[in-house]
Structure 1
């Protein structure tokens, strides 16, 4: 019986591959009648960005990692030259990264959802960790780990993202200055390579694959499970916001806060373009705080806000107020412009969920999101701020603009993630090279303020900002990158390009995986394979 079921699944996968090949004669797998693991849906053709729409020829809903391995093994051994595969988690990509035009999209949420918490016992040297399947959402891991008083150390601002998805990019939030991104808080991975091999990897076991996949944009393998480092969870959080008029003082105080990791647990910030944007950025702050500062109504001034938090690990700890006051005494915010509230740890981490529900209520959640995320070295952050302000208009801008510092030393140089390169004449040892800012221009193209044609204009502005920031003196890099030419991708990876291309040739030699990124074109099995080929851009329809 088991062998018969296995043969049935093999035949189904083979059928799916044939339908996706250049010689397909049937429009959709549905022409054969319902299939249990393959169906074409509009879900796989779009993502949160709502900018690119690329339809796959088939959708695989695997029941186990073996299904994925079987598909990729067949594709890597076959002569079908056009079939590509993309893994889709929660679908929060922006520019079609999880799409597979005329290929196969694998829906990772169909895999069995498993979360196993392993807590070290008193006196043990072993670390606490969670073994989690790749399609599990971070909010699900948080809820489960809190039941035993544990939680991951590093987060994203929004928790309804898949674990495999964020680990393929980086995973950052206000804790990254202290603990690094999510990709540096992973102990082990189960990965299916482009050859179809299921590999368990870690820093000491198949380490090249381990580091390639982390921040690797899905190019080297599909994460089916991850071992996430855990620590004791706080009981509550003191959450504070302070306002500034001067950008230099704003960044100076942010850098002061990240220099105190023994006291401060979270640091972010945002630009307040006008009073309207202040209301928009206050949604996540508890409504009962009446958090609407009077910042000279009617003024055209731009303001800045620092948001930071201090965690309380003991339920009866009464020193939190003294710690917060000690921190505030060292800061130079606007007088009488400080707001503070105490919330549970879960509510603090899940703060963006409140904003999501409000936007859904208003019907402006499922709209285009022409976001731009940039890593900017400290030496260029003021110039980037000026560049940004030259290309946006407060009158028609909707959405937050995040800006906060990270520390380069918290990022592993072995992973595929890309930060701005250190200047060639740098001697190291800190200074401007050590601090890197993340700037998130999280704009929404709402129907009321963005008429037809407006979206293309916003994307052109993003490209203009990116080209000036990357190619000029700023020295910035994109986070969650989207590039349109092979030269731009080479420039993005810089000195790491050769390593990135060599890893691709080793783990996905036919370039089957992640076609939506547009980095490597699919290679025919009939073309001689070498490790020195020059990958070209795979153009998507735009």
Structure 2
């Protein structure tokens, strides 16, 4: 018996299960009362107790708390089809949450006030792990897929830094990591998907089958369909990883070296960050070469021509899995300290390379250590030519820098959170002015007009896809797009 099954049973013990909906009072009932509409038969449960609903009014941001009317704990894909159809008939909203409180959102994007939240974590079966792809439920976490594929010497081409996220969650947003310069994002490496549209239709889509839906759902922010299963590409990976970390004191040289490395391809992974150093800031290069024992990397050749500060280089070896899962000990510590549950007013930006250096300097000059709450600042490039999802909006430039202020609100007061969200909004306005885009999982208040600008020139296509696949606007209201 899986731990998921046990935890689901524990969740359901003492929970109040809905069996009907009263369209007059707009409320659920645990008995079939007069005038109530019975729920469709379900393999799982629809929970309406306070504890279940409160838990689903949560995401990783811990900033917005929109309480739904009920939480669907699906026992099958058919449950999701049935409840989307039911929600559509009754004029209510519905959205998928990829593991409550751990979702790939920080500002209520997967929350549904006065509607239904689907806890996708119960759909977590790895149906097939082959040599070149894996067919998995949307609730599967990337670390679970990786543990299943590595015995074959295979891995998804791109992994987010934190691999406890779900497959469906990151495919709805994008899924970026240090391998993106070579492979694109995770949405560029999904081969086919089963999707429940806002019409309540279960559709299999791919590049050769139902292509418009396939393109809409990848980075579609849950607006057109709920991803319930996905076939993810797998590639061969060596079992070992050598990590090189070094510091720069010059931002220009740091960014130039990063761009050079993603073009010459000498490393398998290229990231970077802004770190505290000697009372100021330095720029940390983190690059990795995967290898097989007996064919160790040639350090001098790999590092030739790079302009990092002498004496700052650190080199370490480990397994590929331990490298991919490197954040797990830190996250466990943050959970033990209680900091993981603090508000996270994150801001992830895609910055055009032509403006990146001056923009980064400007933002850093206005960002104090207190503004970050010891959260990291990421800075690294990828190539726009590798991106294939039309609704993943990035700047029009050959190279795009991910620039992320992964803030923790310390102290976790409403006043501090409001201040940081306000700073995010001011930075967003400046970013928009230089042709940049946000990675829309962030704590930035956006109006429908902001969303139209974000998707321009693809807005009409986005709007058309909404009319086609979710004409009653049932899905994912938390984004605030429409």
**Structure 2 length-normalised TM:** 0.89
In the TM superposition, what is the alpha-carbon distance from 1:109 to its structure 2 partner? 1.2
The residue correspondences of 1:250-265 to structure 2 (distance < 5 A) are: 250-261=254-265, 263-265=266-268
Matches within 5 A, 1:181-196: 181-196=185-200
Deviation at 1:236, TM superposition (A): 0.3
Query: Which of 157, 171, 174 is 1:170 aligned to?
Result: 174
CA distance in 1, matches of 2:47, 2:428: 38
Superposed CA offset, 1:279-321 (max 9, x none): xxxxxxxxxxxxxxxxxxxx43321111000111x33213x1x
Q: Are positions 1:87 and 2:96 aligned together? A: yes
Partner Cα distance (1:329, 1:99) in 2: 49
**Aligned match of 2:233:** 229
Distance 1:407 1:30 in 2: 56
SS of the equivalent of 1:389 reads helix
* Alpha-carbon spacing, 1:270–1:195, altered in 2? closer, same or farther (3 Å): same
Separation in structure 2 between the aligned mates of residue 344 and residue 31 of structure 1, nearest angstrom? 56
What's the counterpart of residue 5 of structure 2?
Answer: none
**Structure 1 partner of 2:12:** none
Kindly report which structure 2 residues correspond to 1:83-482, keeping only aligned pairs within 5 A, or say none. 83-90=92-99, 91-92=102-103, 93-111=105-123, 113-119=125-131, 128-261=132-265, 263-272=266-275, 274-275=276-277, 299-312=278-291, 314-318=292-296, 320=297, 322=298, 324-395=299-370, 397=372, 398-412=374-388, 414-420=389-395, 422=396, 433-447=397-411, 450-470=412-432, 472=433, 474-481=434-441, 482=444
* Aligned mates of 1:159, 1:406 — CA distance in 2: 20
1:271–1:104: structure 2 CA closer, same or farther, 3 Å change rule? Answer: same
Secondary structure of 2:287's partner? strand
Deviation of the 1:342 alpha carbon: 0.5
CA distance in 2, matches of 1:254, 1:451: 37
Give the Cα separation in 2 of the matches to 1:402 and 1:264: 18
2:38 corresponds in structure 1 to none
Q: CA deviation at 1:75?
A: 3.3
Conservation of the 8 A alpha-carbon contact between 1:109 and 1:135: yes
Shift of 1:389: 1.9
Query: Per-residue displacement from partner, 1:199-250 (whole Å, max 9, x unpaired)?
Result: 1110000000011000000001011110011111221001011101110001
Contact 2:196–2:227 (CA under 8 A) maintained in structure 1: yes
The residue matched to 2:47 in structure 1 has which SS?
Answer: coil
Q: Corresponding residue for 1:37?
A: 45
Q: Aligned to 1:228, what secondary structure does the other structure show?
A: strand
Question: Against the structure 1 CA distance between its residues 503 and 220, is the aligned structure 2 distance closer, same or farther, given a 3 Å change threshold?
Answer: same
Q: Name the CA shift for 1:31/1:271 in 2 (closer, same or farther; >3 Å).
A: farther
3-state SS of 1:240 partner: strand
Deviating more after overlay: 138-147 vs 358-367: 358-367
Q: Secondary structure at the match of 1:38?
A: strand
- How far is the alpha carbon of 1:31 from its aligned partner? 11
Q: Distance in 2 between matches of 1:239 and 1:248?
A: 23
1:177, distance to aligned residue in structure 2 (A): 0.3
Consecutive unaligned residues of structure 2, counting only runs of 5 or more, are 1-16, 34-41
1:435-477 per-position Cα deviation (integer Å, ceiling 9, x unaligned): 0000110010133xx555111101101101111111x2x2110
Would you identify which runs of 4 or more consecutive aligned residues in structure 1 move more than 4 Å? 28-32
SS of the equivalent of 1:259 reads: helix
Q: Which has the higher strand share?
A: 2
Change (3 A) 1:488 1:29: farther
**Superposed CA offset, 1:121-176 (max 9, x none):** xxxxxxx1100011100000000111222111111010001100000000001000
Gaps (5+ residues) in structure 1? 1-11, 120-127, 276-298, 423-432, 521-542
Give secondary structure in 2 for the equivalent of 1:264. Answer: coil
Would the aligned equivalents of 1:112 and 1:133 in 2 still touch at CA under 8 Å? yes
TM superposition shift of 1:485 = 1.1
Q: Name the SS for the 2:246 alignment partner.
A: strand
Max radius of gyration: which structure?
Answer: 1
> Residues 334-374 of structure 1, C-alpha deviation per residue, up to 9 Å, x if partnerless?
11111110010000000111210121222211110000000
Q: Is the 8 A contact 2:425 2:445 kept in 1?
A: no
**Offset of 1:23 from its aligned partner?**
3.0
- How much is the aligned-residue C-alpha RMSD, in angstroms? 1.9
1:97-134 superposed Cα distances (whole Å, 9 cap, x missing partner): 11111100011112252341122xxxxxxxx1100011
- Summarize the Cα distance change of 1:360–1:506 in structure 2 as closer, same or farther, 3 Å threshold: same
Report the equivalent of 1:528. none
Tell me the CA shift for residue 68 of structure 1: 0.9
